[in-house]
């Protein structure tokens, strides 16, 4: 008999806006979200931390935010850039600044580390993020050998085309059914802000609906998962692949 598995449902973009916060907390109180990643320099970041503390939502990670890109006219263009991604010193300095801001806002260290639009998968942000996670002793998304990341619960294609078929109860449970990891992080982006200035906006409302669906919680149990958090896991960050 296969031992029970752990599912961490992590909501990215906490602090992006009040409406984003509202969607994440709704999906936590009434759904399956167990963890969130905080964008520390967004206007609603402090409000997010206060609300999280008020409801006992303690599993907060740092969502490194170095920029955002949108698909337009056949290519990716910058909506904004915090620093030049090819400037290793600037990237490292900005990441440390955001970690310091996280400490200032929460009074503690993050339980995990990831980044907006996964920019830490590429150099030079990769080396900075790997080193930061190792120093803090926390898991880094995509680089933690004890937690498998699943990002398929997302309502767009790689070019920003609508993919509503990926935001259903069946699609979410299908992702988990085919995941082989003993501990799984399911990424999500719930929100209730219809005016959010991003290429991923109306899909966030749909995510809230699915994450709060009773059939999803029942299906998770049937698949042998127990909901958990990063703080509950003694996850060792993996070493950076030198390739």
Q: Which two tokens stand for residue 123?
A: 């150099």
**DSSP string covering 6-62, please?**
EEEEEEEEETS-HHHHHHHHHHHHSSS--EEEE-TTSTTHHHHHHHHHHTT---EEE
Q: Which two tokens stand for residue 141?
A: 């998304």
Q: 164-213, pLDDT tens digit by residue? A: 999 999 999 999 999 999 999 999 999 999 999 888 999 999 999 999 99
| Domain at 153, CATH number | 3.20.20.370
241 within a domain of the structure (yes/no): no
Query: Annotated catalytic sites, by residue?
Result: 12
Number of domains in the chain: 1
Q: 145-167, pLDDT tens digit by residue? A: 999 999 999 999 988 889 999 99
- Residue 104 sits at φ, ψ, to 5 deg, of -65, -40
Q: Read off the pLDDT of each residue in 61-78 and give the average, rounded to a whole number.
A: 89
132 within a domain of the structure (yes/no): yes
243 within a domain of the structure (yes/no): no
């599912």: which residue's tokens? 7
Tell me the H-state helices in the chain. Answer: 18-29, 45-54, 88-106, 125-136, 169-177, 202-211, 214-222
Domain interval for residue 139: 5-232
242 within a domain of the structure (yes/no): no
Q: 13-34, pLDDT tens digit by residue? A: 999 999 999 999 999 999 999 9
């Amino acid at each position: 008999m296969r031992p029970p598995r752990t599912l961490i449902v992590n909501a990215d973009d906490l602090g992006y806006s009040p409406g984003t916060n509202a969607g994440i907390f709704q999906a936590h109180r009434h759904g399956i979200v167990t963890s969130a990643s905080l964008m520390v320099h967004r206007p609603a970041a402090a409000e997010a931390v206060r609300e999280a503390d008020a409801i006992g939502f303690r599993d907060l990670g740092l969502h490194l935010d170095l920029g955002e890109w949108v698909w337009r006219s056949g290519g990716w263009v910058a909506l904004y850039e915090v620093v030049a991604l090819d400037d290793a010193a600037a990237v490292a300095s900005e990441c440390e600044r955001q970690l310091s801001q996280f400490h200032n806002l929460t009074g503690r260290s993050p339980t995990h580390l990831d980044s907006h639009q996964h920019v830490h998968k590429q150099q030079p942000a990769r080396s900075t993020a790997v080193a930061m996670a190792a120093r803090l002793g926390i898991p880094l998304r995509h680089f933690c050998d004890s937690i498998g990341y699943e990002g398929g619960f997302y309502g767009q294609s790689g070019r920003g085309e609508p993919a509503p078929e990926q935001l259903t109860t069946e699609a979410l449970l299908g992702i988990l059914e085919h995941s082989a990891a003993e501990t799984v992080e399911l990424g999500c982006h719930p929100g209730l802000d219809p005016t959010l200035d991003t290429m991923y906006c109306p899909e966030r409302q749909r995510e809230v609906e699915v994450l709060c669906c009773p059939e999803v919680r029942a299906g998770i149990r049937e698949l042998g998962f127990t909901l958990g958090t990063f703080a509950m896991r003694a996850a060792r960050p993996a070493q950076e692949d030198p390739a």
